[in-house]
Structure 1
């Protein structure tokens, strides 16, 4: 997704660094755990019952909300989905009168994340007659942090929440050097990236070591979090092994050696959409879609001539084996392998689910035609206007296809309506594409333009409006924020699509990881080695 902004000159195209993993996951034998998988499962079930008991024993709404927040921070809320939804639904329907800004902000965040509307007016009680937050709040870091994280779930027109973010950030910045652990670390992370835009499986790597220092720490909950993480890690490792074998055969068979060898990173991206045990099929299909997406991107952007781009697009639009005759020899095996892989997706689906693959195929064809448009712009030295450039390049980011592809392998709750919505590339899907495109372009601009790169959105804006790069960055940054507001708003406007919207939101959130600090961590993936090891290789000690 937004893998690159390249061009089509094979003699001079830059070589990507080789994979840092090689066949590591094919041959990796994980360390023997202190406890067998079967024992982990049994112990986890015992602890789940304990946690359910703790939930039932909560006597107040505030206690329940704080426990839900803990379960989410520790990424074990997937074990208690029904109970958590019941708590939040009941909380939403109940009167809530608390004098604690932390409590009010926590309720606001948890409910809005779940697609349950809460008015920003709930914060008015903490403001003075002039509409400013009362002075005593400026010295309450925990309350400010809760307000800050909650306010990032703002929608269009909620200027009061924009003001809340600025106010809380200013206060937290001024006091961050005086805070104690674990609050100090949590504030530092939030100021870099608010909690609502942080991936749960990244947050848990931090929070698991911090939770023991929380005032309401529960040893049973922490033990469950460690067991759950290690148990899921065993599953993820098996999937990585299988995917790596598939990729090794694919990469060797099709001979597209100019493309980035990033199958482990493709799996990480898929894992960011859904890490839960029941989504093995979805993860594997989606990871393969991302891998194909990267190969297509590199073919259009850094290798194929314009004629070859046209031939490839025509074959993809026809989507039949006989169209292989249209292609140059070096693309024929790749094309046939793509068709074969999509047929394998169908084979993995139940009879009443097979239709989903046709949606992914259509999204792929839309992506291909937009890649061709970019190639034509480049070869004709055409500099499109900013809006035209964004319209095409946001599709070329790959995010719209990804938003369709992530639904293909999910469980039987996925509906035709959700697939139509994803293919239509509106609201949250469109926002995901915009965030992906802009964050990639900002990173690419910071890294420096390659002479074969097509005109990016940053350059288009600078050229069309005659402004300096910092002005363009500020404008594009505000457009990213607008896209986030659209994503947040979709939860309330399309409640019937909420499960799909939540997964699409995960993809949008992942962009904050891949392009953090204006770096392209997919293409230049050396920096991810530590994170990947912590997620998939290193066990959490008991």
Structure 2
């Protein structure tokens, strides 16, 4: 189909699907929640943001008693919490407990309810022990039931046990769910057709962006002549796309991708090529952020330095005049990453074996939460990110801190045996093993608990900063990209060929309509 005909048909279907939203009452609340869930699964909720917000706030503010099943209670819990609307654990756990206070025998044989409980409970906060118990209970019984389930539930359970729904990249889940949706009770052919059209329309835009970014990086790569640095433009675009895939975020995606590729190259300079003296000179020149500082650098770093200053200036030129204040925040975040890389270089060159806490102080900064958060915000619209959002991003608490921990720990676990760069300082896994004299298996298990604590912190951020909710949600989206990149046995950010199939499905091959 031509892009024009696809757009025309999609606009027709939007009107049809928008008509499915009804004024919410106690009688149809569950139906409306199921509609919202379907649109989210198919990654077209962005087309109905106003209707979804109105629906959720209406149901959240009313006396809602329609949840007749565990699935419905868990669905309500998950949707509300994911959108920053508070709901207590009691409303969910009451559907799970028997008269004696233990988990009910009936729900152990309810795979749909168990799956919904399992996915919802992963929006837990620190101290919500009952939700942690619910996750263990649901995981155990879903494992027992998995072999007897039929499609589409069987596939959904298998995926969730590997990675719960709330930690899954939306566009990847949408591709899976499109093939399953026809077997669901909520099936509506107009919704499915719209999902496919919207996916393909956005895919064409994403591919144009990726081509332009690839050409930009090819030109830059040849210009700076740093052959040892990694070409990760596709991988970082995947992250940017996971943060925001909607059409209106094209500028934001491109800027975030460029920033992350630049900081990746900076990391490689410190890790692979620079001596300790070179590292100090580079950090000092970056702190000056002045074209005259180029003369203080070794010859092989001068072109990179000049390109860096030029690229940030080009991004400032792309912003509206009133948005110009954003670039200094991004520069400062970039400099903080440089400072952290220098500290890491000192640890390596001095052959220092840091304690676990010493290692974390440095490595949590080198994973790039602050540069990621400010890079996300730089291209977003003013009505979503007030100026104090940038102060929040540089402060590095809540969801930014959660990203640092999730990204760092998953990265270290995945790369433990790969030895990515010869000058990398000891990872958190190695430091934990050295300090506590334990095996790698024990260290990885203990660090896994810290990852779960970080997810709780990310969930808590949805309620701590209601005025910054769009920014918090986007940073949390970046965290959600980390299990895909680092969650398995392979670090796919470093071994990019391992994500080739996913890249082709997301950005190259259209969905058959």
TM-score of the aligned structures, taking structure 1 as reference length: 0.92
Counting only pairs closer than 5 Å after superposition, residues 492-507 of structure 1 correspond to structure 2 as 492-507=463-478
Alignment of 1:51 onto 2:17: yes
Alignment of 1:179 onto 2:145: no
1 CA distance for matches of 2:240 and 2:478? Answer: 9
Match in the other structure for 1:19: none
1 CA distance for matches of 2:251 and 2:96? Answer: 48
Alignment of 1:42 onto 2:11: no
Match in the other structure for 1:116: 85
Query: Alpha-carbon deviations, 1:220-257, whole Å to 9, x = none?
Result: 00000000001101111111121111111101111111
Counting only pairs closer than 5 Å after superposition, residues 20-31 of structure 1 correspond to structure 2 as none
Match in the other structure for 1:4: none
Query: Alpha-carbon deviations, 1:129-169, whole Å to 9, x = none?
Result: 33212111111100000000000000000000000000000
Match in the other structure for 1:27: none
Match in the other structure for 1:199: 169
Give how far 1:96 is off: 2.1
Alignment of 1:160 onto 2:160: no
Give how far 1:452 is off: 4.1
Alignment counterpart, residue 442 of structure 1, candidates 413, 432, 436: 413
RMSD (Å) for aligned C-alpha atoms: 1.2
Alignment counterpart, residue 356 of structure 2, candidates 381, 386, 395: 386
Q: 1:451 to 1:370 in 2, by over 3 A?
A: closer
Indicate if the aligned counterparts of 1:233 and 1:536 stay in contact, CA closer than 8 A: yes
Match in the other structure for 1:285: 255
1 CA distance for matches of 2:235 and 2:356? Answer: 31
Counting only pairs closer than 5 Å after superposition, residues 289-308 of structure 1 correspond to structure 2 as 289-308=259-278
Give how far 1:415 is off: 1.4
2 CA distance for matches of 1:119 and 1:253? Answer: 56
Gaps of at least 5 residues in structure 1 are 1-34
My pick for the range that moved more, 481-490 or 257-266, is: 257-266
Gaps of at least 5 residues in structure 2 are none
Q: 1:467 to 1:319 in 2, by over 3 A?
A: same
My pick for the range that moved more, 290-299 or 453-462, is: 453-462
Indicate if the aligned counterparts of 1:309 and 1:372 stay in contact, CA closer than 8 A: yes
SS at match of 1:54: coil
Match in the other structure for 1:10: none
Indicate if the aligned counterparts of 2:420 and 2:494 stay in contact, CA closer than 8 A: no
Q: 1:452 to 1:370 in 2, by over 3 A?
A: closer
Alignment of 1:454 onto 2:425: yes
Match in the other structure for 1:426: 397
Query: Alpha-carbon deviations, 1:256-303, whole Å to 9, x = none?
Result: 111111212221121111100000100000000011011001100111
Alignment counterpart, residue 410 of structure 1, candidates 380, 387, 394: 380
SS at match of 2:488: helix
Query: Alpha-carbon deviations, 1:401-457, whole Å to 9, x = none?
Result: 111111101112221111100110111101100111111111111435876431111
Match in the other structure for 2:434: 463
Match in the other structure for 1:137: 107
Q: 1:248 to 1:448 in 2, by over 3 A?
A: closer
Matched length: 508
Match in the other structure for 1:100: 69
Alignment counterpart, residue 494 of structure 2, candidates 523, 526, 530: 523
My pick for the range that moved more, 60-69 or 394-403, is: 394-403
Looking at both structures, which has the greater relative contact order when contacts are Cα pairs under 8 Å and sequence separation is at least 6? 1
Query: Alpha-carbon deviations, 1:43-74, whole Å to 9, x = none?
Result: 11110110011122886000000000000000
Alignment counterpart, residue 62 of structure 1, candidates 15, 30, 51: 30
